[in-house]
Amino acid sequence: MVIGDHDEGEEEMMVAATKPVWLEGLMSETFFSSCGIHESRRKSEKNVFCLLCCLSVCPHCLPSHRSHPLLQRFESKVQNVNITI
């Protein structure tokens, strides 16, 4: 099917090539650093990314972002893991 000057396949490729607005913020964000607002509190590492605000937050900041879409980042402390298939 032709939509405007593009066929359906070209339209799907153009949509797939468009990055979400929050992706740039996610890629440039520094995770696991201390939250500037809650640095004196325990567990104040920024490990949650708010897709709406495009910034990382600590668990203490979450109440003001509860209605926003969130991604939680996990850090593995395991080293020298060998996987055999």
Residue 79, domain member (yes or no): no
pTM of the model: 0.66
Residue 24, domain member (yes or no): yes
Residue 59, domain member (yes or no): yes
Structure tokens at 39: 């640095």
Q: How many domains does the chain have?
A: 1
| Domain hosting residue 35, numbered range | 2-72
Residue 23, domain member (yes or no): yes
- Each residue's pLDDT, cut to its tens digit, for the chain (85 residues) gives 455 555 666 666 665 568 888 999 999 988 899 999 998 999 999 999 999 999 999 999 999 999 999 999 887 777 666 655 5
Q: Which residues have C-beta within 8 Å of that of residue 71, sequence separation ≥ 6?
A: 26, 48, 49, 51
Residue 16, domain member (yes or no): yes
